[in-house]
Structure 1
Amino acid sequence: MPRPTGNVRLKAARVAAGFNSQQDLADALTQHAREMGIRGLSIGVRQVRRWESDNPPWPQPDCQRVLVHLLGQSMEALGFTPPWGSDGPYPDPLRRALVTGGATALGLTAMPGRTAAAPQPPTAGVDFQAVTRSHRRLYWSVTPTQLHPAVVAHATLGCALLPETMDSTRRTVAAALAETYLLAGRIEFFDLREPNTANDTLLLALQAAGEADDPLLGSAVIAHMAFVPGWVADRDGALERMTAARTYARRASASAEFLAWLDAVEAECETRCGNTRTALHLISHAEDVLAVGNEHPSPEWMDWFSPARLAAFKGNTQMIAGHLPQARESLLEALASMTPAEDKQRSVVYGDLAAVEAASGNPEQACEYAGKALDQLSVTWYATGMDRVREVRRALTPHQHERCVRDLDDRLYDWSMTLSALSR
């Protein structure tokens, strides 16, 4: 007889629970989510079909909780393969507990090998949060490979503290833990170029934000998760995450700045998917949102966006769309508006200006901007900035025998820059 195909474990659990069709299970999961107090979760038959396929995707945290609670089995017993690996940056038992158990595993159960500890004093939340804030500021100046281990260690401490806190202290620790995981995920994605690891880390950030009941922080995490499919031109995956991010932002009465940033994130994903016209419409909407404003303040942890950053987003999209004069204007505006705290982003803007000049047939000007990007990278390393310089160098191939391009090569491939690039 032919061997069964698909996720036979989930199929068996579904039938054993009395759900004869995939639609029956989808309806039951949606209803059960409401009964568990999980707001806004709707599971369709298409999602159940994917879970019962040969290679079922690892469900989102809220879906995991409902599946386990309704069917009475662990995720592994239901045929799902966890996304973590034994060589990842987090201890395997910790990652397993965090990812599979949702909010409960973030603090309501003891870790293997640990005994119950006395409750932490209220100052523990403030102290843990203070280190999180320091890491946030250090991101803009410290080498990513040096900062990342400290951020991960701080997250591990937060996971240990959370079961020992209560009430407002618990929410403070959970929110700071979510921000810490968000920072780790940002470093992994933008600086270390590890998108799969970043996606796993951002899932942990989302679970911690749920434990803190902080929908705005949850929205920020999900929007960052949209970059992962967006970067590989998976438009459906990116838009699905952006829809979720906007839903969480509505629950939190987000600031105009935050809403404009969501537009900018979606615009970058659309640009990566080749839809520059849609991206430019989104950026125009973001500019209108910032101009009108609203009464809601931005959270202190949102230090990655400003009108100058929006102008940089705009310039990059205009450049890719072939609107070179407009791109040059937008990028120069971004450069002029950036504060010293935004120096890390300058390498990206210089790189885009170099690309504009290369596309305009101005190799000397392109090399000058690329050199300025390398100057900035020697001070504050940023993998995204180096990617821009490499793209410019490829665009300058027709001019590679010119003196300015050969001088750029001497800088791009000197000992320090080569080692910096290859060691990351």
Structure 2
Amino acid sequence: MAENFRLRVHMDEHGLQQSVLADRVNDGLRSAGHKGTVGDRTVRNWLTGKTRWPHQRQRDALTAVFGCTPSCLGFHPPGAPEPPQEDTDVIRRRFCTATVGTAATAVPLIAARPAVGTSDVIRLRNGMDALTALDQSKGGHVALERAALSGAAEAVGLQGKAASQTIRQRLFSIAANYTATAAWSCIDARQLDRAQTHLNEALRLAGMAQDPMAQMRVWNSTAILAHQRGEYGEGVAAAQAAQATVITRRDPLFSSLAHARTAIGHAQQGERQSAIRSLGYAEESLSKTQDQPRPGWVAFYGPAELHALAAIVRELLGEPAEAEAASHRALSALPKEYRRNRAMATAHLALAQLHQGDAEQACGSTEDAFHLMSGSELPGRLRVLLGDFYRDLLTLAPSTHIAREWADRYRNEWSTREHGNR
């Protein structure tokens, strides 16, 4: 078994230890959509000659790292004649001469590629925070989705530059979060098929980033999407997947959010005891939360949002008085800049009031929801919720003056905002 001097010389020239080369090859594998399975032992087998012809995907990654063919690195396929082994100093001198004075041997690719680093990561993260603020104000819309997908494409595109493994994982994490933002925009706009496509991609990117926080975010949005689709069992499963991520065990705020999503799923299935129990877990976890740095997308969640989610649970369980009380608590605590969230909570308040027989007060509450979103398109989720209110209003109070008055106003608002959506 002959030692692979050619590979060793190339590693020396690049200053690569076995573990570092393994990391570089794994980076290349992941960027091509494969698992990074190369370790010190793999590289040692290459050097000792035990492995004379690595797998195709490993050969491709080695070519990207060193900028030369596998045969130049001392590898040869089974059955092919083994290249003559030369003295190490001869190989080194030839390599140095070629890289300095000729174009016949390629310059190492890693050295030639422009580098990407922490400043690029920070810039892309700042762009993501800006989109989060836009969502909190206006809700989901096409421009937000497109901007998020553009950010994801840029983060993935930077994988083509030289970077450490840590930077590459951060870029995948950023791409996952941008894609999750696009998915959320579609969820809020009720573009359900596009949302599912984006969530699938976001989960793939989060896996390559090995980022449990991004994974939790995707499962959280998947639970919401399942709620919209009426796929209640899948909603519970997605919320439980969110509970199982590493970040929920580390940070009680994420644990609380995952339990709240689970509560909604149970309530949709009519499982009152399980829903109330999950709400209790959510409240308990939230009480243990401490101030610490967290990504901007989860800034919406806290006591106010938990009250809003509790109102939905109570509404689904047929407990309108409890739903109304929870909605009032949510609105008293929700920041004013969260216009969309406040409008959603107000619409749920109106439903709770209507289901208690107070049509006049309920119609007045929906006026507040329209007012909160004045000057902006109505997000799809809010439009559907107001449509549910309209349907129940015509069912529960079809002949009242206030119902006819509100129906005229609702149709007018719908037409105006629908035109704006175009």
TM-score w.r.t. the length of structure 2 is 0.67
| 1-structure distance, mates of 2:291, 2:411 | 50
The one-letter amino acid of 2:211's match is D
1:392 to 385, 389, 394: 389
- Structure 1 spans left out of the alignment, 5+ residues: 1-36, 38-60, 67-100, 110-114
- Counterpart position of 1:277: 273
Q: How many residues align?
A: 317
- Counterpart position of 1:187: 185
* Worse-superposed segment, 196-205 or 255-264: 196-205
The one-letter amino acid of 1:292's match is K
CA-CA distance at 1:142 after TM superposition: 3.8
| 1-structure distance, mates of 2:142, 2:230 | 27
Answering whether residue 415 of structure 2 is matched by residue 418 of structure 1, we say: yes
CA-CA distance at 1:258 after TM superposition: 0.8
- Counterpart position of 1:303: 299
| 2-structure distance, mates of 1:362, 1:127 | 51
1:160 to 157, 161, 170: 157
Answering whether residue 224 of structure 2 is matched by residue 227 of structure 1, we say: yes
Relative to structure 1, the CA distance from residue 65 to residue 233 in structure 2 (aligned partners, 3 Å threshold; closer, same or farther) is: farther
Mapped contact 1:233–1:273 kept (Cα < 8 A): no
CA-CA distance at 1:273 after TM superposition: 2.8
- Counterpart position of 1:126: 122
Relative to structure 1, the CA distance from residue 133 to residue 311 in structure 2 (aligned partners, 3 Å threshold; closer, same or farther) is: same
Relative to structure 1, the CA distance from residue 233 to residue 150 in structure 2 (aligned partners, 3 Å threshold; closer, same or farther) is: closer
Task: Map 1:94-105; keep pairs closer than 5 Å.
Answer: none
Mapped contact 1:308–1:334 kept (Cα < 8 A): yes
3-state DSSP of counterpart to 1:140:
helix
3-state DSSP of counterpart to 1:139:
helix
Relative to structure 1, the CA distance from residue 253 to residue 285 in structure 2 (aligned partners, 3 Å threshold; closer, same or farther) is: closer
Mapped contact 1:259–1:289 kept (Cα < 8 A): yes
- Structure 2 spans left out of the alignment, 5+ residues: 1-25, 36-56, 66-108
- Counterpart position of 2:99: none
Task: Map 1:338-417; keep pairs closer than 5 Å.
Answer: 338-380=334-376, 381-397=378-394, 398-414=396-412, 417=414
CA-CA distance at 1:253 after TM superposition: 4.1
The one-letter amino acid of 1:120's match is A
- Counterpart position of 2:72: none
Mapped contact 1:223–1:242 kept (Cα < 8 A): yes
Task: Map 1:6-405; keep pairs closer than 5 Å.
Answer: 118-122=113-117, 123-142=119-138, 144-167=141-164, 168-191=166-189, 193-249=190-246, 253-293=249-289, 298-380=294-376, 381-397=378-394, 398-405=396-403
Question: Deviations along 1:135-178, whole A, 9 cap, x unmatched?
Answer: 12111224622322222222222221222241233233222211
CA-CA distance at 1:311 after TM superposition: 0.4
The one-letter amino acid of 2:183's match is G
Question: Deviations along 1:193-220, whole A, 9 cap, x unmatched?
Answer: 1222212211221222223221122122
Question: Deviations along 1:181-238, whole A, 9 cap, x unmatched?
Answer: 11000011122x1222212211221222223221122122122223333433434433
CA-CA distance at 1:365 after TM superposition: 0.4
Mapped contact 2:177–2:202 kept (Cα < 8 A): yes
Mapped contact 2:339–2:373 kept (Cα < 8 A): no
